[in-house]
Structures are given as structure tokens and as C-alpha cells.
């Protein structure tokens, strides 16, 4: 009989052999485009800090002031006197921002998704319909729920409609807004129509849309102009374009009260530090007012795509700062990621199960803090490495 550690080590060795082993690198600077990792200066193309707010001076100042005023730990859950003035103020500002009656803070996006799905689908007759490429936190909500869960083909509304037909009970349709590993947008107007036809409830996790999409950074709801009737359950996260930490759900009075009562990941956890809410209030202001950040990001995206096309790199259908380059092979993705790091560029090498089998890719993310020269340098280096490794580039 193998010991626990022996059994675990066998499994780990297999993962390594499959080129699926995950490793951490040591970040020794604030999150930004210029970072120090493992003692080496690098240019990062892997952060979700799209708008450069994670280390923005006024966000940092608000964080500091929040900590001086409210201390560090919130000390308790929201329902047991951990709900501070700063949490409340941020929730009210997020409600105005999303044009929904109310918003509710969660400690992380993972918890917001899990808790919301479970609070809305408790019954065996309920059905959850998920896009196949949804984020793991949404998939896990479907797996954990007592409801039946089915996954429709990516952005395929006809497949969704087929699956919804004749189903009784609640129908919760769940999708990423901007798909986190592909960068493409959910076909929200079509999903809205499908939901209206079949009386489904639409839940959109816009982790990568808020701050980046829409003229005022209101994400895909603003981009597509979707009202609360069309999109009743709107999730946003604060650790990406907002540059801070946490998440929120925006919607009706009834939805938010239901989550406060029944979302276990809301009820049974310590509230975010109030200073995180203070910092987020500062980043929300910047994100709404400084439209130049979105404009600059858009021009960098154009630059990246045209440069990549010229070099014959395989882009995906993305108009967002998430710009993957498809390599298909897990081992190749790792090798290219390592070589880029040796050359001072950090990108995510994404393999299964994060993405479907045979679709390994570099997940390159752009930030407003990048320069055109840095983008050109990344592309040149990448194309040199690929030519070297596989003669992939035309």
C-alpha cells in the first residue's frame, strides 16, 4: 500500500510528464508592465491590470487612508457587523455605475459566481445552461448545484435553444461576458432573445469587460446597451481592470436581497477589508472619468494585431486586451513561454484543462501602460523564438 505522499507524487510526476505542471514565479515588484520576477527585470504581458490602476498613486493613497480610518481587517462577516461605511458607499456607487437598483460586494469573483448560481438554483427541477468555455468558477457553480447542468457549444445560441426547449423549472443561462482565455465577446443580444423566448434568467460574468468595454467602462452591458430586464444578473470582478480586489453582483432589489439571505459564499465569509473598498472607490472614479485609458488601450490592440498578422502569428477573434496566440501544443506553449521569459517578456502559457485539449496558447494581455515599442519588441522576439523552435512563422 502506497503512503499518501507516494500516491500524490505519482500523480504529480504524471502531470509533469504531460507538460501540465504548474509553477509559480516570484514577483518582487508592484504589478505593472515593468516588473521584477525571479530577480530579473521583465516586461509583463500577462496581467489583468488592463487600465494600470493596480499601483496607481490615488488608488494606493485611498487604500492607505482607508486603512488608517478603518484598520486592516474587517473582523467579521457582512451580516455580523462587518459591513462598513466604505463597503456600503462602494455598493451604492457600483449600483449607479451599472445602472442597476443595487449592487452587492463579494470577497472574490470565484465566490460571487459560485454563491449566486447556488442561491438561484436549489431545486432538482432547475436547469443551468453554461457556455462550454465559461470560467472555472461558473462551471464549478453548475457542478456544485443540485440543478441539472448542461454546457452548450461556445456562443451557439441555436444549441442553447435546443437544450432549453421543454424544460420545466428555473432556467439559468450563464456566460462569461468577455471570454477569459479567448478574449472574444459573448453574443449577448442573441442570448437575451433566447432567454426572453424561453423565459430563462441571464447571468453574465463580465470580469474582463468592466473598465475596458463601453464608453464609460460599464462593460458589455453598456457596450450592448442591455437593461436590467434583458440582463438581470450582472457580475463584475474588482481584481482586473479595477486594479484592486473583490467582486460584485448588480441587479434588482429582490435579487440582491436573495443573495444576502441565501448566497453561502456571501454569508459565511469575512467581509473584504474596508480599505480595499476605499481603494476601489478611487479606481472606479478614475475608470469612469479617464476615457483616454480605453482609447489608448484600443490603439495598442490594433497595433498588436496588425503586427502579429504581418508576422503570420495565429490570432484569435478578439477585440479586447486579451490577445491569445494559438500554438495548439502544450509542450510548445511551455517552451515558448520559458524562452520569452529568458528574453525578458512574461506571458501566460495556457494549457488544458484551462483551455480545451489541443488549443494551448500564449495568453497575451495588453495594458494601457505598454508602449508601442514594447509591443513591437514582444512580437519580434516571439516570432524569432517560433522560427527557431518550429519554423511556424511564414
Ligand X SMILES: *Cc1c(COP(=O)(O)O)cnc(C)c1O
| Closer to ligand X by Cβ: residue 47 or 137 | 137
Q: How far apart are CA 333 and CA 10, in angstroms?
A: 24
Residues 285-344 interacting with ligand X (rule: CB under 6 A): none
Q: What angle do CA 191, 132, 247 make, to 5 degrees?
A: 75
Q: Which helix (H) or strand (E) holds 365?
A: strand 360-365
Cβ 55 vs Cβ 30: under 8 Å: yes
Q: Is 375 in the site for ligand X (CB under 6 A)?
A: no
Interface residue with ligand X, options 130, 176, 182, 184 (CB under 6 A): 176
Q: How far apart are CA 163 and CA 130, in angstroms?
A: 11
Segment lying near ligand X (by CB under 6 A), choices 51-59, 70-78, 202-210, 355-363 = 202-210
Q: Which position's Cβ is nearest ligand X?
A: 109
* Grid coordinates of 30: 508592484
CA distances from 24 to 33, 69, 119, 339, 348 (A): 18, 35, 34, 16, 12
| Closer to ligand X by Cβ: residue 137 or 365 | 137
Q: Is 182 in the site for ligand X (CB under 6 A)?
A: no
Q: Is 100 in the site for ligand X (CB under 6 A)?
A: no
Residue 135-164 contact track with ligand X, rule CB under 6 A, x = bound: x-x---------------------------
Q: How many residues bind ligand X (CB under 6 A)?
A: 14
- How would you label 226-243 residue by residue, b for 16+ Cβ within 10 Å and e otherwise? bebebbbbbbbbbbbbbb
Interface residue with ligand X, options 43, 114, 247, 368 (CB under 6 A): 247
Characterise 277 by phi-psi region: left (phi > 0), alpha (psi -120 to 50), beta (else). alpha
In degrees to the nearest 10, what's the CA dihedral of 189, 190, 195, 198? 150
Residue 108-127 contact track with ligand X, rule CB under 6 A, x = bound: xxx--x--------------
| Closer to ligand X by Cβ: residue 283 or 383 | 283
Interface residue with ligand X, options 98, 157, 237, 383 (CB under 6 A): 237
Contacts of 300-303 with CB under 8 Å at 24 or more apart are 300/366, 300/368, 300/370, 300/372, 300/375, 301/366, 303/372, 303/375, 303/376
| Closer to ligand X by Cβ: residue 223 or 335 | 223
| Closer to ligand X by Cβ: residue 332 or 347 | 347
Q: Is 207 in the site for ligand X (CB under 6 A)?
A: yes
Q: Is 239 in the site for ligand X (CB under 6 A)?
A: yes
| Closer to ligand X by Cβ: residue 137 or 383 | 137
Segment lying near ligand X (by CB under 6 A), choices 83-91, 93-101, 106-114, 306-314 = 106-114
φ, ψ for residue 154, nearest 5 deg: -50, 120
Would you call 5 exposed, middle or buried from its count of C-beta atoms within 10 A (0-12, 13-18, 19+)?
Answer: exposed
Segment lying near ligand X (by CB under 6 A), choices 4-12, 115-123, 205-213, 249-257 = 205-213
Residues at the site binding ligand X, with contacts judged by CB under 6 A: 108-110, 113, 135, 137, 176, 180, 205, 207-208, 237, 239, 247
Amino acid at each position: 500500500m502506497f503512503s499518501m505522499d507516494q500516491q500524490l507524487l505519482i500523480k504529480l510526476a504524471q502531470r509533469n510528464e504531460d507538460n501540465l505542471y504548474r509553477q509559480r514565479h516570484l514577483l518582487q515588484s508592484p504589478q505593472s508592465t515593468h516588473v521584477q520576477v525571479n530577480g530579473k527585470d521583465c516586461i509583463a504581458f500577462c496581467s489583468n491590470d488592463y487600465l494600470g490602476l493596480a499601483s496607481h498613486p490615488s488608488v494606493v493613497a485611498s487604500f492607505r487612508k482607508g486603512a488608517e480610518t478603518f484598520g486592516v481587517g474587517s473582523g467579521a462577516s457582512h451580516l455580523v457587523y462587518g459591513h462598513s461605511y466604505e463597503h456600503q458607499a462602494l455598493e451604492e456607487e457600483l449600483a449607479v455605475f451599472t445602472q442597476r437598483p443595487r449592487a452587492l460586494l463579494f470577497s472574490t469573483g470565484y465566490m460571487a459566481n459560485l454563491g449566486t448560481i447556488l442561491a438561484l438554483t436549489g431545486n432538482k427541477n432547475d436547469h443551468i445552461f453554461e457556455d462550454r468555455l465559461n470560467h472555472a468558477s461558473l462551471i464549478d457553480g453548475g457542478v456544485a448545484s443540485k440543478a441539472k447542468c448542461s454546457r452548450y457549444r461556445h456562443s451557439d445560441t441555436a444549441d442553447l435553444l435546443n437544450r432549453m426547449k421543454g424544460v420545466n423549472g428555473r432556467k439559468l443561462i450563464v456566460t462569461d461576458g468577455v471570454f477569459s482565455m479567448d478574449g472574444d465577446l459573448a453574443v449577448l443580444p442573441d442570448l437575451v432573445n433566447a432567454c426572453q423566448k424561453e423565459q430563462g434568467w441571464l447571468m453574465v460574468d463580465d470580469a474582463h469587460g468592466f473598465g475596458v468595454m463601453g464608453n464609460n467602462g460599464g462593460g458589455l452591458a453598456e457596450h450592448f446597451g442591455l437593461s436590467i430586464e434583458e440582463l438581470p444578473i450582472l457580475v463584475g470582478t474588482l481584481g482586473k481592470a479595477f486594479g484592486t480586489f473583490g467582486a460584485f453582483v448588480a441587479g434588482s432589489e429582490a435579487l440582491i436581497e436573495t443573495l444576502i439571505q441565501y448566497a453561502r459564499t456571501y454569508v459565511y465569509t469575512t467581509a473584504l477589508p474596508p480599505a480595499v473598498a476605499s481603494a476601489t472607490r478611487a479606481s472606479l472614479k478614475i475608470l469612469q472619468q479617464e476615457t483616454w485609458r480605453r482609447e489608448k488601450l484600443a490603439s495598442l490592440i490594433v497595433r498588436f494585431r496588425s503586427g502579429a498578422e504581418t508576422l503570420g502569428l495565429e490570432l484569435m477573434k478578439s477585440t479586447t486586451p486579451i490577445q491569445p496566440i494559438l500554438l495548439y501544443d502544450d509542450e510548445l506553449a511551455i517552451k515558448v513561454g520559458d524562452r520569452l521569459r529568458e528574453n525578458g517578456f512574461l506571458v501566460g502559457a495556457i494549457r488544458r484543462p484551462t483551455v480545451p485539449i489541443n488549443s494551448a496558447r500564449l495568453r497575451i494581455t495588453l495594458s494601457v501602460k505598454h508602449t508601442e515599442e514594447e509591443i513591437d519588441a514582444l512580437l519580434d522576439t516571439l516570432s524569432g523564438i517560433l522560427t527557431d523552435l518550429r519554423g511556424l512563422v511564414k
